Amino acid sequence: MRKPFALVLLCGTPLFGWGPEGHSLVARIAETQLTPAVKARAQEILGLGVSLASVASWPDEIRRGRPETGPWHYIDIPIDKPHLDMARDCPKGECVIAKIEEFEKALKDPAVAPDKKREDLMFLIHFVGDMHQPLHCSDNNDKGGNGVKVQFNDHQSNLHSLWDSGLLNRMPKEDELFAKLSADAKKHRKKYAKGTVEDWAEQAHTAAQKVVYGLLPKTPEGGVLVIRANYERRADPLIEQQIARAGARLAKVLNSNLK
């Protein structure tokens, strides 16, 4: 049975990628694909009994207190452009792709202090999940969809909130989704793990072009978009696939950098 849609209001312009449930799913899926040595190393860094899932939403929890980390969660690839351009889209190195690469290097560096390495690992777990939310790899001059008003299931929110958790909250419960998506991630792990972080961002960007924005109903400028069941039917499989991809890719990143 699906859960009632929970209204999520985002004040100001913060952009959150997936809700806690989505980030937990990504981390849980990844954990099933870690090698025993990497799983032990992750446990050593995070602390005894601390799972990947339990820290997966930490960067969102500290974000308002550390506003400098805000731009690290996304990359603004213009919606009308077919490809990523780091010089155009991440000129100062303050974007999710640059930060993933930075934290990957830190995990391999023995000179990084334990407390810093723990924080870097928590950021990395979260950011690989974030970049698979299509609105974290797209820019339509609407603050990542926060500026697009929507009405869904009799509640008003915005497009970004809808894709973070509004749609996900109406899917089956987390454990049921985990069983389904972890099986998908395991079946396609080699396929999903191919490519670079930049390739994965472009894939999420294409999803935003074709589905997130491409299937939106038309409405007068400044009006509220009414999201109906046909949009939800097309969006749900994409959300599931993006979470499965993120889990498999997070496992690849950790297995490559925590040897």
Taking only the tens place, the pLDDT of each residue in 90-138 is: 999 999 999 999 999 999 999 999 999 999 999 999 999 999 999 999 9
Taking only the tens place, the pLDDT of each residue in 43-100 is: 999 999 999 999 999 999 999 999 999 999 999 999 999 999 999 999 999 999 999 9
Q: How many CB atoms neighbour CB 216 within 10 A?
A: 15
**Is it the case that residue 1 has pLDDT exceeding 70?**
no
Tokens of 236: 């749900």
- Domain annotation for the chain: domains and CATH numbers: 20-257 (1.10.575.10)
**Is it the case that residue 11 has pLDDT exceeding 80?**
no
Give the Cα separation of 140 and 79 in Å (integer).
5
Give the Cα separation of 74 and 139 in Å (integer).
10
Residue whose C-alpha is closest to residue 149's, from 222, 47, 239: 222
